[in-house]
């Protein structure tokens, strides 16, 4: 039984379906926000909410389209595949009800910008964490 489970895990890793990086959603260390639920994060990143629960402005930052971390984030937090996300934003933009978050090239760029601005929220690899940002949600 254990051998069978190990084989399945190895196959999943080889296929790229199991992430090697743990993701964390972060805000500036200067932000009053200390924790968020996955639904709250999804609402901010899907332009359904423009404020944090405390009433402060919330502006999401994204990683590039096609990034494995981005795909994992939206699958786990918003339960949406890349194709569903593309359709979602196409409709939002067409109806004038929202724009997708600004994209940055990597976790370090997201962390740097979030650290400098308490209104920003982003997701990064856990390994990119430092004291300039506060994790508010660990994405499993």
**CATH code of 106's domain:** 3.40.190.10
- Is 6 within a domain? no
Cα dihedral 29/136/124/127 (nearest 10): 80
Alpha-carbon distances, residue 32 vs 16, 42, 109, 118, 119 (angstroms):
36, 19, 22, 8, 10
Instruction: Compute how many other C-beta atoms are within 10 angstroms of the C-beta atom of residue 103.
Output: 14
For residues 66-90, average pLDDT: 97
Q: Domain of 106?
A: 20-139
pLDDT in tens, 4-32: 443 444 444 444 444 457 999 999 999 99
Mean pLDDT score of the chain: 90
- Is 30 within a domain? yes
- Is 40 within a domain? yes
- Is 12 within a domain? no
- Is 92 within a domain? yes
- Is 5 within a domain? no
Provide the 3-class DSSP secondary structure of residue 110: helix
pLDDT-derived band at 2, boundaries 50, 70, 90: low
Strand order in the sheet with 59-62: 102-103, 59-62, 120-125, 23-28, 133-139
Write down the H helix ranges in 49-101: 68-77, 82-95
| Contact partners, residue 88, CB within 8 Å, separation at least 6 | 46, 80
- Quote the number of domains for the chain: 1
pLDDT in tens, 80-116: 999 999 999 999 999 999 999 999 999 999 999 999 9
- Is 15 within a domain? no
Which helix H or strand E contains 125, and what residues bound it?
A: strand 120-125
The per-residue pLDDT for 21 is 79
């Amino acid at each position: 039984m254990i051998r069978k489970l190990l084989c399945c895990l190895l196959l999943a890793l080889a296929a790229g379906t199991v992430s090697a990086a743990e993701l964390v959603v972060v805000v500036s260390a200067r932000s009053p926000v200390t924790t968020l639920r996955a639904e709250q994060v999804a609402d901010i990143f899907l332009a359904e909410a423009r404020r944090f629960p405390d009433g402060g402005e919330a502006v999401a930052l994204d990683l590039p389209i096609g990034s494995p971390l981005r795909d994992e984030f939206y699958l786990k937090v918003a339960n949406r595949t890349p194709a569903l996300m593309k359709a979602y934003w196409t409709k939002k933009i067409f109806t004038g009800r929202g724009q997708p978050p600004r994209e940055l090239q990597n976790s370090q760029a997201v962390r740097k910008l979030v650290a400098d601005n308490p209104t920003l929220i982003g997701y990064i690899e856990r390994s990119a964490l430092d004291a300039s940002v506060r994790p508010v949600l660990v994405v499993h």
